[in-house]
Amino acid sequence: MTQISIFDYGAGNIHSLRKAIATGARNVSVESDIRLALNADILVLPGVGAFGTAASAMRGEQDRVRTALADGKPCLGVCLGMQLLFDDSEEAPGAGLGLIPGGVRRLRTAKVPHIGWNDVEWADAGGLAGANISTAYFANAYVCEPDDPSPILAWTTHQTSRFPSVVRVANTVGVQFHPEKSSAAGLAFVNNVIDELAQCR
């Protein structure tokens, strides 16, 4: 059975995400200690919440988590969870994981936040062999800006801003949208990603 741990930093959209990925072949737990969460086969960093709060909840263990992910620990980051893969954020002080060099900036568009359905434009669908989605539900005011575009698998455009919506480094996948809120296609997508990551254990 695949052990999955959702890191609870106090504000994540945990209930719906847990429900989306729970199956008979998976044991999905919620853990507020990032060190214990790392013991699972797959680490999940959920969406919803503030960057500073989530960074503080790691209690200075960013180096430990970054090393584990760089060494191949499977991880899925959703929305804010994807942003935590980067160095820092304009939203608030605090250190991200720095797995992907770069920062998180506020959307520079007339309408903020970006809420609703939008297209996911794949640049490298081969980066996720069994998973794909063309339209997803977004709820974000901040977007990621990697120093190097090579981790980017897909893009999304909101008004005048084009930003990464799917990234991958080693066995870590980040998505800026909410697959758990993206209808049947989103549920299929997130479960295919989990299945692929489970094979990387």
The reply to whether 61 belongs to the active site is no
- CATH code, 2-198: 3.40.50.880
What ranges make up the beta strands (E) of the chain?
A: 2-7, 26-31, 42-45, 75-78, 88-89, 102-106, 114-119, 121-122, 135-140, 142-146, 152-158, 161-169, 172-175
Candidate list 75, 79, 114, 158, residue with the active-site label: 79
- Per-residue tens of pLDDT for the chain, all 201 residues: 999 999 998 866 698 999 999 988 999 999 999 999 999 999 999 988 899 999 999 999 999 999 999 999 999 999 999 999 999 999 999 999 999 999 999 999 999 999 999 999 999 767 887 678 999 999 999 999 999 999 999 999 999 999 999 999 999 999 999 999 999 999 999 999 999 999 987
pTM of the model: 0.96
The reply to whether 178 belongs to the active site is yes
Domain boundaries, the chain: 2-198
The reply to whether 79 belongs to the active site is yes
